[in-house]
Amino acid sequence: MRGQGHWGDALPDETLSRDEAKRVLRRLWTMLTPWRGGIARAALVVTVQVGALIAGPSLVRYGIDRGLARGDAGALDLAVGLYLVLALAGLVLGRAVTRMVARLGESFLRHLRAHVFRHLMGLSMEFFEKEKTGRLVARMTSDIDELQELVSQGLVLMV
């Protein structure tokens, strides 16, 4: 064991150092090359969605200042109409982002599973004589399940 965790539980030997974590993230970024365009599109849709949601309070201010304070019914109608359009756009764009991120994540995980499986199948018999096969498979399954959890819930919540 390397040491104690934040809550006092022992950290496993597989805990990465800062340099190892940086290398893993660089490899991950390289592996994401085929999905970078989709990631950029999802980021663009998120930006537009946030813009639509942030514009709401400004429209309320406009409606109050121009519509109610000055008695201009047209300005109030415009503010209400635009607010409804932007709220609907925010809802639709939010749904689109969720679907885009889920689709990208699932596609990446499918590729990663196939890549790991091909790698394991390419290892020599001597390797499997030295290593515990059950531990390898359990670790592979566990790590990919954790990535699945991150993709299915974590990334969508983060976005």
Give residue limits of the domains in the chain.
Answer: 36-158
Cβ(86)–Cβ(59) below 8 Å: yes
What pLDDT score does 5 carry?
A: 45
Instruction: Domain 36-158: give its CATH code.
Output: 1.20.1560.10
Q: Which residues pair with 4 in a beta bridge?
A: 10
List all residues 6 or more positions away from 10 whose beta carbon is below 8 Å from its beta carbon.
1, 3, 4
Give the model confidence (pLDDT) of 43-65 as tens digits: 999 999 999 999 999 999 999 99
pTM over 0.75: no
